[in-house]
Chains A and B, each alone.
Chain A
């Protein structure tokens, strides 16, 4: 597959992810929280803290999508192995890892404040570990792209 096709594919995936994110965070999340509160009115004080907390976790994800868009633009120009892309991917890894840690800590804090279920906190732990593993994989990829960019630059300076 050519770089141009890959770039277009990546951009389509990013747009779909962004739209799904809007649907999930803008519609499904408030709806499911309000349904939960309607079913269990005694937990009505859960609504706002959880809505705000989960919306905050969405912000790094949109920053990641923006960085992904930037990488796909570079890919279109056949400039995949560059310091800029390595830096973008390193930032993606930091955002992803940071978001996972924030999500886990938030669940623990909410548990201590009695606005979380222990089962949810345990599930959040496993989910966070999974996301941290993905973050580590992205960091390794960033390191490889950084090294590849050095080789590319050296190769280009051999005439």
Chain B
């Protein structure tokens, strides 16, 4: 399964979810859905904006883990 590590990156960059959602240009609700792993997918444009805002690589945000 794919794990979203936005909260880890937010902690590293000392950034709030609200600030990130504003920088990325999506609503706080959608950012929350994404952060909590409830989204069915992520657009490349959103991933691009998140990576730009958090100054990181997609691999820092997305992680693959074996289903237990």
Question: Which residues from chain A sit less than 8 Å from chain B, CB to CB?
Answer: 154, 157-159
Contacts and interface: CB of A to CB of B under 8 A. Distances in A.
Interface residues of B, number: 12
Interface of B: 26, 30-31, 33-34, 38-43, 46
A158 B38 CA distance: 10
Contacts, number: 21
Contacts of B33: 157, 159
A159 B40 CA distance: 8
Contacts of A157: 33, 38-41
A158 B30 CA distance: 9
Contacts of B38: 157
Q: Identify the interface centre among A154, A157, A158, A159: most chain B CB within 10 Å of its CB.
A: A159
Given A154-B40, A157-B33, 16 more contacts: A157-B39, A157-B40, A157-B41, A158-B39, A158-B41, A158-B42, A158-B43, A159-B26, A159-B30, A159-B31, A159-B33, A159-B34, A159-B41, A159-B42, A159-B43, A159-B46
A36 to B, nearest CB: 63
Nearest to B42: A159
B30 to A, nearest CB: 5
A38 to B, nearest CB: 69
B13 to A, nearest CB: 20
A147 to B, nearest CB: 17
B10 to A, nearest CB: 16
